[in-house]
Structure 1
Amino acid sequence: MSDSFFSTKQKPAYIKRYPPIMKFWGRILSYALPFIAIVWACFKFDYEKEGLIIACLFLGMALLSQLRQLFKLTAWLLDPSLETAPDAKGNWGDVFLMLYQQEKRRRKDQRKLAATLTRFTRGAEALPDGVVVLDENHRIEWCNVVAERHLGLSRKRDMGLTINYLIRQPHFVEYINNERYKESITIHPDAAPNTLLSVQIFPFEATLKLLVTRDITQLEKIGVVHRDFVANVSHELRTPLTVVGGFLETMLDMENMEAAASKRYMGMMLDQTKRMERLIADLLTLSRLESQSGQHKEEPVNIPKLVEIMAHETRSLSGGRHQITIEVLSADWLHGNMDELHSAMGNLASNAVRYTPEGGSITLKWERQGEIAVFSVKDTGIGIDQEHIDRLTERFYRVDRSRSRETGGTGLGLAIVKHALLRHQAKLEVSSVSGEGSTFSAVFPSSRIIPRSMTELS
């Protein structure tokens, strides 16, 4: 049935003017009065038999008409559809019209509800947190993809199951049974034992609950790093402060200290003070690089010239104890920050000096390898076991703590190198053999390289 059939324009005027009850009886009388008049006339003029026949025919036709309309209504109600809505006139037409309009409103409301549900589902799927809808008996009614990944659930398999049966950790079961939902708990789910989840339940409506999971593994790692960092800084500063404080107490207690002893003590305190200064300077540098703060002015950097400067500084630091050589195999420059590149390369070179025994050799090399450019420092030092290489750039990580302190290292040099290179989209590569030496390479991408031809034009 088309919408136009039930349009307001096609309704008779009296349908709009009179109440429904008056319209109903008005139509009944409009059909019945002519037959009543005919039957009355038959009886008045002694045609009782004919009148009875006419009355029966009228009542039979009326009954058949009503049954026919009732059948059409019943058939349509079994499968209500706007396209198959029955058509009729009179009172049945009004009934079908009202049913048609009601079905139309229902479909419109259904579309709105479906659209709202779709938006809700999409929004829940877009959340970075896991969301599980539970009923009053803690049965799963719905969950998003993140919750499936966090808790090992399946929307096809686990709908209608009790969450306690799927997550059997005692801490979680106690939390959900005691209904102390004001605070969150942390669990390591069986589906991902290395993941730490924050779980909290939020009751809503009358009986439903919303279980929200959040992956806090990285936050926990950061917390551990921060705690270790504070502990390491405290430990690194405590030693020189203890030395300085001890010498000061000794000097105060001794009334007549010899000049040589006093000078020796002063020298030791000066060394420890310089060590603290280096540590604080490295901490400030690392903090600036990690936070991306401060000036990061980029410009063309003459790397061949910088390598020569690094060689001069390395020879000064070595004091003639090592053979320092340079190999500049490329005239290419880099686009970057001069101070940060100097700091990164300087840390690699100074580490080579510290960990290479006297008489060893150190080579500084700048070369182009296809699409990349590489600055490397190769030494014949003590080398590093493979188990330590992946952790070398961690703050305060030392392969040999006692040797690092003896050589004046702060434990932050390679962390500074890592972050300085990251600011230039570069990476640090390490190859080493214990007892034979190491090679530390700063690998720069093609986007940072300024070819020699362009430097000559400038």
Structure 2
Amino acid sequence: MKKDIFLRIFITCAVVILLVCAVMAGMFAVTKERDIVDNMRESLGIMIGACDTTADGETLAARMKELSGSRITIVGPDGTVLGDSDENAQALENHGGREEIKEAKTKGIGVAKRRSDTFLTRMVYVAVKSGDNIYRMARTNGEVTQTLLGLWPMALVAVGVALAVALLLSRYAANRAMRPLLETVDAVTVQMNPTGDRIGTVDTSSLEEISPLIRTIDEMNEDITRARNKLSTQRDQNRFILDSMEQGLIFVDPGMKVILVNVSARSFLGEQGEAEGLDFIHLTREMKLYDSVSLAVKEGRSCIFDLDLRRTAGAIVEVRVSPVRESWIGGGKAERRGAVVVLTDVTQSRQMDEMRREFVANASHELKTPITSIKGFAELLAAGLVRDDRKAHEYLLRIRDESQRMTSIIEDILKLSSLEAEEYHPPRSQVDLIDVSKEAAEHMAPEAEKAQVAVTVEGENITLTACREDIYQMISNLMDNAIKYNRPGGYVKVRVHRVGDKAKIVVEDNGIGIAPEHQGRIFERFYRVDKGRSRKVGGTGLGLSIVKHVAASLGGEISVRSREGKGTTITITLPQPPPTGGGEIAL
């Protein structure tokens, strides 16, 4: 725009300069011709007064030419040429019809400019009447041309200087014309700092011609600033919400480029760098995930599947891939497709499903043996095949024992189910750990005596707010295991004491111990280190699972220390209540 303004002004100035030069040249030519005419008229008057006008026309014309240096023609009253300084008068035609001659007859002086047929050039004629005759002087117009040609170098210099001045003035005028707009642009530009906040308004005091435009731009700028700040806030809010999601979220465009990926998705896929703008393959090396996204983009297919990322992210992830129109994610064409990927951590759910399957299988297996045994003995008795009363009584006792075993398994299963239920809220009271331990020891006394194992309880009176039945079952299950997996002459020691801000229940035995490879799994349901021995001693395989759940419900922790053939020590650590005293019992 500035260049266009400059060119227009310069061309206008150049045309004006050239027009002025042409007008001045014309005016100079007219003035020069007027001076020539005046000079010719004065010369004729002087020569007419100085010469003898009674002489012969030819002689008088020649004499006057000598004095003036110009062609002289003497014409009679009837237009006859009486004498001519340059031509034979008798050969010349009658000049009565010539313009200057006719004007001289009426006005005394006549002037004409025309092309001469004799000299074939443009001539200036001045005729003066004196007496009856008319005296005419003729000069060529070349004097004017020669004068103009003489002035041409100076005229060129003047035009060049004028054009140079016009060039500078045009540039100045263009800058002057553009300055208000440039100041407006600069003012509008500096209204924004890099963060998009306004830092001022445009001063229109010196820009009166375009102040309405500036005010309009300023108002638009304010609207843009508000919209920009609002969009920035919304973008930050949306990003915060997406990054706060536990689910992973990924948007992919039709070119398989990552548009957005939140923090959870990065964590699942183990990607810490910037992935936006890169191909989806840079985000994951899981080909099943890549292929499913590719199918969603190219063919519009949706899919759901689990992805085991426990080796990299420690989680099992449910993947949902769905195609979406590009206009929803990037403002592109509606007919093109991108994809959205949702990653959900289902580790706990899948582990619980697996545990339920194992639990059902183990429970079915544990119940199948006593049920089969009961069925067999009952069929024998019902068929009347047992004739011996002693044998029949033995079978009935076996049925009773197997029924008791089934009852124990079912009771433990129900107990575990209640402990795992979120709505499990048993009645609580003040429970003295040492008293409960002594009660459990007294209950286990017959079994300990039968197994030839000594049980002792020692420690402090520590009170907890808990369900007494749960505490009792937890301690009795630990004692029961310690007695069953012991040897004749062995011992079981139960200690209750404080350590720092914790209360500890320690159950120690010198029994058969647990191999290192089994120690991490003994609290699983139905897990047995020695399955043959477990069935022989009548365990359900759920006792330690119940212990773990009771301790967890009280906010406690369990640790195991064991050596094969040397014994086992299991420690339960619970939140510490205030101290109240101590005591000891030996069985």
**TM-score, structure 2 normalization:** 0.62
Aligned position for 1:331: 461
Aligned position for 2:217: 99
From 294, 298, 318, the counterpart of 2:428: 298
From 114, 128, 136, the counterpart of 2:246: 128
Q: Which is worse superposed, 272-281 or 241-250?
A: 241-250
Task: Report the Cα distance in structure 2 between the residues aligned to 1:295 and 1:75, rounded to whole angstroms.
Answer: 72
From 161, 171, 185, the counterpart of 2:278: 161
Task: Report the Cα distance in structure 2 between the residues aligned to 1:374 and 1:199, rounded to whole angstroms.
Answer: 44
CA deviation after TM superposition for structure 1 residue 391, in Å: 1.2
- Describe the SS at the equivalent of 2:561: strand
The aligned length equals 393
Aligned position for 2:183: 72
Task: Report the Cα distance in structure 2 between the residues aligned to 1:150 and 1:291, rounded to whole angstroms.
Answer: 29
Q: Does 1:289 align with 2:419?
A: yes
From 396, 403, 411, the counterpart of 2:526: 396
Aligned position for 2:344: 214
| Residue identity opposite 1:220 in structure 2 | R
Task: Report the Cα distance in structure 1 between the residues aligned to 2:225 and 2:518, rounded to whole angstroms.
Answer: 67
- Describe the SS at the equivalent of 1:300: strand
Over the aligned positions, Cα root-mean-square deviation in angstroms equals 2.8
| Residue identity opposite 1:173 in structure 2 | Y
Task: Report the Cα distance in structure 2 between the residues aligned to 1:423 and 1:287, rounded to whole angstroms.
Answer: 13
Q: Does 1:452 align with 2:580?
A: yes
- Superimposed CA distance per residue, residues 15-67 of structure 1 (whole angstroms, 9 cap, x where no aligned partner): xxxxxxxxxxxxxxxxxxxxxxxxxxxxxxxxxxxxxxxxxxxxx99988644
- Describe the SS at the equivalent of 1:332: strand
Q: Which is worse superposed, 90-99 or 124-133?
A: 90-99
Aligned position for 1:277: 407
| Residue identity opposite 2:264 in structure 1 | V
Q: Which is worse superposed, 97-106 or 214-223?
A: 214-223
Distance change in 2, residues 1:107/1:178 (3 Å): same
Aligned position for 1:50: none
CA contact (8 A) 2:438 2:457 kept: no
Gaps of at least 5 residues in structure 1 are: 1-59
CA contact (8 A) 2:448 2:455 kept: no
Aligned position for 1:434: 564
Task: Report the Cα distance in structure 2 between the residues aligned to 1:398 and 1:292, rounded to whole angstroms.
Answer: 28
Aligned position for 2:486: 356
CA deviation after TM superposition for structure 1 residue 405, in Å: 0.9
Which structure carries more relative contact order (alpha carbon 8 Å, separation 6+)?
A: 1
Task: Report the Cα distance in structure 1 between the residues aligned to 2:397 and 2:310, rounded to whole angstroms.
Answer: 59
Q: Does 1:137 align with 2:287?
A: no
From 281, 285, 303, the counterpart of 1:183: 303
Structure 1's consecutive aligned runs of 4 or more residues displaced over 6 angstroms after TM superposition are 60-65
Task: Report the Cα distance in structure 1 between the residues aligned to 2:408 and 2:570, rounded to whole angstroms.
Answer: 22
Task: Report the Cα distance in structure 2 between the residues aligned to 1:104 and 1:176, rounded to whole angstroms.
Answer: 43
CA deviation after TM superposition for structure 1 residue 155, in Å: 4.7
CA deviation after TM superposition for structure 1 residue 292, in Å: 4.5
| Residue identity opposite 2:265 in structure 1 | A
- Describe the SS at the equivalent of 2:315: coil
Distance change in 2, residues 1:367/1:115 (3 Å): closer
Task: Report the Cα distance in structure 1 between the residues aligned to 2:310 and 2:482, rounded to whole angstroms.
Answer: 46
Aligned identity (percent) is: 25
Task: Report the Cα distance in structure 1 between the residues aligned to 2:310 and 2:470, rounded to whole angstroms.
Answer: 45
Larger Cα-atom Rg: 2
- Describe the SS at the equivalent of 1:329: strand
CA deviation after TM superposition for structure 1 residue 250, in Å: 2.5
CA contact (8 A) 1:432 1:439 kept: yes
Q: Does 1:111 align with 2:229?
A: yes
Distance change in 2, residues 1:73/1:361 (3 Å): closer
CA contact (8 A) 2:269 2:313 kept: no
CA deviation after TM superposition for structure 1 residue 241, in Å: 0.8
- Describe the SS at the equivalent of 2:562: strand
Gaps of at least 5 residues in structure 2 are: 1-169, 193-197, 329-333, 583-587
- Describe the SS at the equivalent of 2:454: strand
| Residue identity opposite 1:137 in structure 2 | G
Task: Report the Cα distance in structure 2 between the residues aligned to 1:238 and 1:441, rounded to whole angstroms.
Answer: 34
Aligned counterparts, 1:343-382, within 5 A: 343-382=473-512
Aligned counterparts, 1:171-320, within 5 A: 171-179=288-296, 181-189=301-309, 192=312, 194-202=314-322, 203-204=324-325, 205=328, 206=334, 207-255=337-385, 257-320=387-450
Distance change in 2, residues 1:169/1:155 (3 Å): closer
Task: Report the Cα distance in structure 2 between the residues aligned to 1:86 and 1:238, rounded to whole angstroms.
Answer: 94
CA contact (8 A) 2:256 2:294 kept: no
Distance change in 2, residues 1:256/1:225 (3 Å): closer
Q: Which is worse superposed, 231-240 or 262-271?
A: 262-271
CA deviation after TM superposition for structure 1 residue 298, in Å: 2.4
Distance change in 2, residues 1:70/1:332 (3 Å): closer
Distance change in 2, residues 1:155/1:84 (3 Å): farther
Aligned position for 1:11: none
Task: Report the Cα distance in structure 2 between the residues aligned to 1:308 and 1:302, rounded to whole angstroms.
Answer: 10
| Residue identity opposite 1:145 in structure 2 | V
CA contact (8 A) 2:247 2:342 kept: yes
CA deviation after TM superposition for structure 1 residue 127, in Å: 0.4
Task: Report the Cα distance in structure 2 between the residues aligned to 1:429 and 1:285, rounded to whole angstroms.
Answer: 22
Give the structure with the larger strand fraction.
Answer: 2
Task: Report the Cα distance in structure 2 between the residues aligned to 1:196 and 1:388, rounded to whole angstroms.
Answer: 25
Task: Report the Cα distance in structure 2 between the residues aligned to 1:380 and 1:322, rounded to whole angstroms.
Answer: 13
**TM-score, structure 1 normalization:** 0.78
| Residue identity opposite 1:103 in structure 2 | N
- Describe the SS at the equivalent of 1:306: helix
- Describe the SS at the equivalent of 2:465: strand
- Describe the SS at the equivalent of 1:362: strand
CA deviation after TM superposition for structure 1 residue 274, in Å: 0.6
